[in-house]
């Protein structure tokens, strides 16, 4: 099997600064035209047969990528198995839905509140449970995901089974209008959020938190012996992951305009985790690719109706057989090469 991850980084290393700039600009241009690919002859095969292509780009594709990146901080970077990640998405979505229908706040103002509440719930869940390890943590987070859904299902202020209807879209920013007629603008918003998340993860990874997470993931006991305050850093990775999930939730609510408890069941947590594993745990680009494919494929093969999930499952099984570490596995020793250069 060729190592796509290494091929990618070799390609990047060979480029000179000007070529790199051109490559980055070309990538941005590509991201800008993606919503129109379904109308363009040679790429029209990308069109999703039942859902509108542009809507599918926001949800599930964009949202899955965003959430998978958030979950990757928890599962991939610090090695904590979180099976209830959907809870943070739900908390963000319900914060957005309730505040925008009951107060005069708009989505942009609610976004930081949604993030803050998701982080707060991350701390509340994390403080007692992050002392647990491995399977035990997975079970507790699974429980948290279910509890959140059931609370939302049975509370008055969340609208019970009916959920929250009539969620207003975000007000326009300059010439960019967010409404049903312009789903591509939501897509651009999500792309910006994804890029910000990637930037944040990369910043954190090369600094002290990244070192601490790496040590905790590889051997938590030894990390303690080295003087790493493990609980603090596990809590950080948990809350940063929660923040990304919360942000995704707020935007999701304003995009779909109606949310209901059924959208936040256990299956979403599992699917997001599958995106991370399928793409390559711990590797940002792998996770982006994995989430894109796992969100897109079910939409693309929707014409298969009932056998759709079966085909999807088969694709997963076959892929994991061929690439057990994911599509783009984590590169084992990232920084070593750079250090070598410094010394020379």
Partner 1 sequence: MRLEIKDLRVFYGKIEAIKGISVVVNQGEIVTLIGANGAGKTTTLKTISGLRPVTSGSVTFDGQDISKMQPHDRVALGISQAPEGRGIFPGMSVLENLEIGKYFRKDRRHEMKEDLEKVYHLFPRLKERAFQAGGTLSGGEQQMLAIGRALMARPKVLLLDEPSMGLAPMMIANIFKIITEINTELGTTILLVEQNAQQALQRAHRAYVMETGKIVKEAKASDLLNDPDVRAAYLGTGADAH
| Contacts with partner 1, residue ranges (CB under 8 A) | 208, 211-212, 214-215, 218-219, 221-230, 332-333, 335-336, 339-340
| Closer to partner 1 by Cβ: residue 50 or 225 | 225
Q: Is 14 exposed, middle or buried (0-12, 13-18, 19+ CB in 10 A)?
A: exposed
Q: Which 3-state string (H, E, C) describes 153-164? A: HHCCCCCHHHCE
| Closer to partner 1 by Cβ: residue 14 or 333 | 333
| Closer to partner 1 by Cβ: residue 188 or 233 | 233
| Closer to partner 1 by Cβ: residue 60 or 280 | 280
Supply 65's token pair. 């990528």
Placement of tokens 């990390």 in the chain: 223
| Closer to partner 1 by Cβ: residue 306 or 338 | 338
Residue-by-residue DSSP string for 108-169: HHHHHHHHHHHHHHHHHHHHHHTTS-HHHHHHHHHHHHHHHHHHHHH-TTTTGGG-B--PPP
| Closer to partner 1 by Cβ: residue 72 or 95 | 72
Rounded least distance, CB 71 to partner 1, Å: 21
Placement of tokens 């980084």 in the chain: 9
Rounded least distance, CB 222 to partner 1, Å: 4
Distance of CA 266 to the CA centre of its chain: 16
What are phi and psi for residue 259, nearest 5 degrees? -125, 150
Supply 209's token pair. 């938190």
| Closer to partner 1 by Cβ: residue 211 or 323 | 211
**What does each C-alpha distance from 275 to 34, 242, 271, 303, 341 come to in angstroms?**
21, 17, 6, 22, 34
Confirm if 68 and 193 have CB atoms less than 8 A apart: no
């Amino acid at each position: 099997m060729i190592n796509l991850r290494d091929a990618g980084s070799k390609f990047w290393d060979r480029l000179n600064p000007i070529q790199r700039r051109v490559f980055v600009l070309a990538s941005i241009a590509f991201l800008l035209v993606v919503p129109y690919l379904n109308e363009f002859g040679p790429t029209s095969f990308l069109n999703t047969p039942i859902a509108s292509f542009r809507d599918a780009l926001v949800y599930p594709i964009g949202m899955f990528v965003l959430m998978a990146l958030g979950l990757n901080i928890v599962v991939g970077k610090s090695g904590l198995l979180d099976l209830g990640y959907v809870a943070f998405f739900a908390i963000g979505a319900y914060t957005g839905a309730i505040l925008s229908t009951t107060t005069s706040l708009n989505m942009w103002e609610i976004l930081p509140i949604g993030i803050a509440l998701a982080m707060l719930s991350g701390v509340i869940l994390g403080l007692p449970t992050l002392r647990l390890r491995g399977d035990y943590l997975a079970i507790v987070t699974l429980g948290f995901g279910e509890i959140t859904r059931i609370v939302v299902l049975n509370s008055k202020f969340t609208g019970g089974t009916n959920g929250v209807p009539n969620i207003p879209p975000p007000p326009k920013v300059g010439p960019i209008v967010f409404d049903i007629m312009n789903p591509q603008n939501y897509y651009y918003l999500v792309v910006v959020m994804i890029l910000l998340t990637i930037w944040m993860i990369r910043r954190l990874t090369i600094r002290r938190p990244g070192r601490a997470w790496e040590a905790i993931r590889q051997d938590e006991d030894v990390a303690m012996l080295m003087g790493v305050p493990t609980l603090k850093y596990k809590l950080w990775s948990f809350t940063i992951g929660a923040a990304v999930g919360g942000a995704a939730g707020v935007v999701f609510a304003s995009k779909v305009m109606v949310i209901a408890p059924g959208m936040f069941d256990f299956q979403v947590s599992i699917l997001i985790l599958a995106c991370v594993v399928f793409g390559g745990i711990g590797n940002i680009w792998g996770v982006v690719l994995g989430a894109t494919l796992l969100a897109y494929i079910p939409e693309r093969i929707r014409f298969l109706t009932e056998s759709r999930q079966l085909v999807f499952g088969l694709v997963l099984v076959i892929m994991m057989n061929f690439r057990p570490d994911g599509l783009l596995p984590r590169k084992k020793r990232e920084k070593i090469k750079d250090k070598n250069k410094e010394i020379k």
